[in-house]
């Protein structure tokens, strides 16, 4: 388990919210300061590298959450299908709990994409790889597992885009339900 000072944890969560809501360019220091209650002095004390370091820290923070709650179950669960189920549930609760867009997905399309290209590529790459690994352990052929994993992750990202466009989070729920089916999980109770 990751060890983070609780206040820094919360700070990063708040900053993440601003980036999520406004994108990298749109998240001005004024907005970040307003949301966190911190002035520029404090902000630059905690993040000497300025806005770029803030974004990088936020991405790392999110990446860590996914490592613990999404990738780890896929990798470590004895029953791979149970791990996949955990992944889907973590995904659902994560994107439902107010944070309605994948910040990393948004950054991937943003003007800032080159700044964070490595972190973004790794995030999605690990998601697909871990899911494919679980599918292989559940008995799928490797090539089939790769396709299904890529399809599932893309379906989630696409559903988030459509959900945002339509202001309708049910799009995500339906996508997750379909993924459950495509990945060979029993229909949910």
Partner DNA sequence: CCGAAATTGTACCGAACGGTACAATGAGTC
Partner DNA sequence: GACTCATTGTACCGTTCGGTACAATTTCGG
- Helices H / strands E in the chain, number of each: 10, 0
* Residues that bind DNA in the complex, under the rule CB under 7 A: 25, 27-31, 38-42, 44-46, 50-52
SS3 110: coil
Shortest distance, position 102 Cβ to a second copy, whole Å: 8
Phi-psi region of 90 (alpha: psi -120 to 50; beta: other; left: phi over 0): alpha
Cα–Cα nearest to 7, from 46, 34, 33, 41: 46
- Of 43 and 159, the one with the shorter C-beta distance to DNA is 43
- Of 42 and 93, the one with the shorter C-beta distance to DNA is 42
* Residues that bind a second copy in the complex, under the rule CB under 8 A: 21-23, 25-26, 101, 105-106, 108-111, 113, 117, 120-121, 123-125, 128, 147, 150-151, 153-159, 161-162, 164-167, 171, 174-175, 178
Identify the sign of the CA torsion 20, 93, 178, 146.
positive
Q: Which does 164 bind (CB under 5 to 8 A by kind): a second copy, DNA, none?
A: a second copy
Structural tokens at position 109: 């399309």
Q: Which does 171 bind (CB under 5 to 8 A by kind): DNA, a second copy, none?
A: a second copy
- Of 101 and 136, the one with the shorter C-beta distance to a second copy is 101
What residues contact 176, with CB distance under 8 A and at least 6 apart? 88, 91, 92, 156, 159
Q: Which does 141 bind (CB under 5 to 8 A by kind): DNA, a second copy, none?
A: none
Q: Which does 4 bind (CB under 5 to 8 A by kind): DNA, a second copy, none?
A: none
């Amino acid at each position: 388990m990751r060890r983070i000072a609780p206040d820094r944890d919360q700070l990063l969560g708040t900053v993440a919210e601003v980036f999520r809501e406004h994108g990298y360019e749109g998240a001005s220091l004024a907005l970040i300061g307003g949301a966190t209650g911190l002035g520029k002095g404090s902000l630059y004390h905690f993040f000497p590298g300025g806005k770029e370091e803030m974004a990088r820290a936020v991405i790392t923070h999110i990446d860590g959450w996914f490592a613990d709650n999404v990738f780890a179950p896929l990798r470590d669960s004895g029953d791979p299908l149970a791990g996949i189920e955990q992944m889907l549930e973590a995904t659902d609760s994560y994107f439902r709990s107010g944070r309605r867009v994948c910040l990393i997905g948004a950054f991937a399309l943003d003007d800032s994409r080159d700044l964070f290209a490595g972190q973004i590529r790794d995030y999605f790459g690990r998601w697909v790889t871990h899911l494919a690994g679980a599918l292989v352990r559940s008995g799928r052929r490797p090539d089939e597992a790769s396709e299904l994993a890529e399809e599932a992750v893309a379906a989630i990202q696409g559903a988030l885009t459509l959900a945002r466009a339509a202001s309708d989070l049910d799009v995500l729920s339906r996508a997750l339900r379909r993924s459950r089916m495509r990945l060979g999980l029993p229909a949910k109770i």
